[in-house]
Amino acid sequence: MKHISSMTRPGNQPQKLAALKQAWQEWNNSPDVLIRLARRLATTLSLEDQLGVLAEEMADIVPFEAMMYRHTIARQEFVFRTGMGGPHRAEYRLNLEGELYGYLELHRRTRFSEEELEAIEVFIGAAICPIRNACRFIALEQMALTDTLTGVPNRRALDEDLGRICHLADRHNESHSLILVDLDHFKAVNDTHGHLIGDQVLRMSADGLTRTLRNSDRVYRFGGEEFAVLLPHTDAPHAREAAERIRLALASLALDRLVGAPLRITASCGVATHLAGEGPEQWLARADEALYRAKQAGRNQTRVFPAIG
Sheet containing 88-96: give its strands across: 76-83, 66-73, 99-108, 88-96
Check whether residue 186 and residue 292 sit in a common domain.
Answer: yes
Which of 113, 144, 175 is the endpoint of a domain?
144
Taking the C-alpha atoms of residue 217 and residue 246, their distance in angstroms, rounded to an integer, is 12
Q: Which residues of 252-284 are buried (b: 16+ CB within 10 A; e: fewer)?
A: ebebeebeeeebebebbbbbbbbeeebebeebb
Burial, 113: exposed, middle or buried (Cβ in 10 Å; 0-12, 13-18, 19+)? exposed
Give which of 64, 71, 54 is closest to 88, Cα–Cα: 64
Check whether residue 185 and residue 257 sit in a common domain.
Answer: yes
Exactly one of 48, 121, 174, 225 is catalytic; name it.
Answer: 225
Check whether residue 124 and residue 212 sit in a common domain.
Answer: no
Question: Mutual orientation of helices 195-212 and 186-193 as an angle, nearest 10°?
Answer: 140
Q: Which domain holds residue 125?
A: 18-144
Check whether residue 133 and residue 160 sit in a common domain.
Answer: no
Residue 7 lies in a domain: no
Long-range contacts of 96-100 (CB under 8 A, 24+ apart): 96/128, 96/129, 96/132, 99/132, 100/71
Q: What pLDDT is stored for residue 309 in this prediction? A: 45
Taking the C-alpha atoms of residue 11 and residue 21, their distance in angstroms, rounded to an integer, is 18
**Residue 65 is among the residues annotated as catalytic for this protein:** no
* 3 state SS of 222: strand
In sequence order, the 6+-apart residues with CB closer than 8 A to the CB of 262 are 256
Q: What pLDDT is stored for residue 13 in this prediction? A: 85
Q: What pLDDT is stored for residue 76 in this prediction? A: 80
Residue 13 lies in a domain: no
Check whether residue 298 and residue 163 sit in a common domain.
Answer: yes
Q: What pLDDT is stored for residue 3 in this prediction? A: 52
Which of 144, 179, 201 is the endpoint of a domain?
144
Residue 10 lies in a domain: no
Check whether residue 199 and residue 160 sit in a common domain.
Answer: yes
Give which of 266, 264, 243 is closest to 180, Cα–Cα: 243
Check whether residue 98 and residue 228 sit in a common domain.
Answer: no
- In CATH, what number is assigned to the domain containing residue 73? 3.30.450.40
Residue 74 lies in a domain: yes
Check whether residue 111 and residue 171 sit in a common domain.
Answer: no
What dihedral do alpha carbons 69, 70, 73, 76 form, nearest 10°? Answer: 130
Residue 184 lies in a domain: yes
Q: How many CB atoms lie within 10 A of CB 23?
A: 10
Eight-state DSSP code of residue 184: T
Which residues of the chain fall short of a pLDDT of 50?
4, 309
Number of domains in the chain: 2
Which of 144, 172, 198 is the endpoint of a domain?
144
- In CATH, what number is assigned to the domain containing residue 225? 3.30.70.270
Residue 263 lies in a domain: yes
